[in-house]
Amino acid sequence: MIIIMDTHATESEVESVQREINRIGFRPFMNPGVERKVIAVLGELDVRKADLVDQFKSMDGVARVELISDLWKLASRSYHPEPSVVQVRDVKIGADEVVVAAGPCSVESERQTVELAHAVKAAGAKMLRGGAFKPRTSPYSFQGLGEEGLRILAKAREETGLPIVTEVMDTHEVDLVCKYADVLQIGARNMQNYALLKKVGATKHPVVLKRGLGSKVRDLLMSAEYIISEGNQNVILCERGITTFEDSTRNTTDINAIPVLKQWTHLPVMLDPSHATGHWQFVGSIARAAVAAGVDGILLEVHGDPSHAMSDGPQSLKPENFTALMRQLSKVAAAVERTIQI
Ligand code: PEP
Ligand code: MN
């Protein structure tokens, strides 16, 4: 339920409504950054819904009361009709420009990461991606450089000015990763790690939340709701392919998810064509399709020497292929009235 206050509502009328929400056992949540005061009533409203609508409608300063039928409330378009823009340093995600974040799957060394950062920046990427804490299927595979990897990413940012996106896998590492990262990535395998979602929700850091391998769009939005309801509105959703019976590619890109998410939520939407396909040869097609379908950003893997990459080499583009792809993406963006500056 949302309570839309009158444009002339006084502070004390707003406060009385908030007090009443608390008194009856719910939690008021203000939508910041919006001129008109809109208060979301959070909690399981169950059978008392109808009575509550009438009760709040009769309070001073209240213009309207609306029920939000979606299970996700704060992530819903009904609650926040305008698209949200997430600001990462001087980069805006969810505005006209389709933001490309590119870089290695794993940070392997300072030289590799700094060189790649320069290369992807020259091609038009606006953010650098790279994993320092890696979720690997096998415990014997390279697990990432940990804090050393974060330090290397910070160095690459210092040299290129590109904001950095990096994964955080554990609640105990959130504070550490926040010290270095501009954007916290929640990986597909952790999309439903609720303790981790709450912990990143308690920070103000932008978060890229990747869709789980076997998760519905609805589940992704409920996970976003965990983060926003802790007070962090800076959530970017990321489609990265799902597991299906089809095994010709690593995952199956759910292109449908893009328009569905754009309709159901105000949050910016990215797509990761590297994990979605698993083969560098298919990355370009799916990236172009995603831009045409309306994404706000692309997150993809680039490596200088894919055959020797410590993770995800087969799906990593070489810098020269990435540069060529960026030229195409900027044309596709223009065709759908967006921009990609290269
Ligand atoms: C990654 O971005 O390198 C990664 C591990 O992604 P995902 O969580 O989507 O598998
Ligand atoms: Mn990867």
Q: Which pTM does this prediction carry?
A: 0.96
Model confidence pLDDT, tens digit, residues 55-81:
999 999 999 999 988 999 999 998 898
| pLDDT given at position 341 | 96
224 pLDDT band (50/70/90 cuts)?
A: very high
260 pLDDT band (50/70/90 cuts)?
A: very high
Share of the chain above pLDDT 90, in %: 93
Cα angle vertex 16, ends 14, 20, to 5°?
A: 120
What is the location of CATH 3.30.70.260 in the chain? 2-66
- Compute CA 36 distance to the chain's CA centroid, rounded to the nearest angstrom: 26
Ion ligand 2: residues, CB within 5 A, are 105, 312
Q: Which of 105, 145, 177, 237 to mutate to test the pocket of ligand 1 (most atoms within 8 A of CB)?
A: 105
Check whether domain 86-335 has CATH 1.10.3720.10, yes or no: no
DSSP 242-262: B--S--SSSSB--TTHHHHHH
34 pLDDT band (50/70/90 cuts)?
A: low
Q: Does the structure show a pLDDT above 90 at 35?
A: no
- The ligand whose atoms approach the alpha carbon of 191 most closely is 1
Model confidence pLDDT, tens digit, residues 156-170:
999 999 999 999 999
Q: For ligand 1, what atom is nearest to the CA of residue 129? A: 2
Nearest CA to ligand 1 atom 3: 105
User: Ligand 1 centre and the CA of 301: distance in Å?
Assistant: 10
- Phi, psi values for residue 183, rounded to 5°: -130, 130
d(CA 189, CA 211): 8
User: Ligand 1 centre and the CA of 188: distance in Å?
Assistant: 6
Model confidence pLDDT, tens digit, residues 72-121:
999 999 889 899 999 999 999 999 999 999 999 999 999 999 999 999 99
Model confidence pLDDT, tens digit, residues 263-305:
999 999 999 999 999 999 999 999 999 999 999 999 999 999 9
- Compute CA 113 distance to the chain's CA centroid, rounded to the nearest angstrom: 23
- Strands annotated E in the chain: 2-5, 27-30, 38-42, 62-66, 86-88, 91-93, 99-103, 127-129, 164-167, 183-186, 207-210, 235-239, 269-271, 297-301
Average pLDDT of the chain? 96
User: Ligand 2 centre and the CA of 312: distance in Å?
Assistant: 5
What is the location of CATH 3.20.20.70 in the chain? 86-335
Q: Does the structure show a pLDDT above 70 at 7?
A: yes
What does the CA dihedral 154, 155, 159, 164 come to, rounded to 10 degrees? -30
212 pLDDT band (50/70/90 cuts)?
A: very high
Residues flanking ligand 1, CB < 6 Å: 105, 131, 135, 187-189, 210, 240, 272, 275
Check whether domain 2-66 has CATH 3.30.70.260, yes or no: yes
44 pLDDT band (50/70/90 cuts)?
A: confident
Q: Does the structure show a pLDDT above 80 at 48?
A: no
| pLDDT given at position 335 | 98
- Phi, psi values for residue 62, rounded to 5°: -90, 125
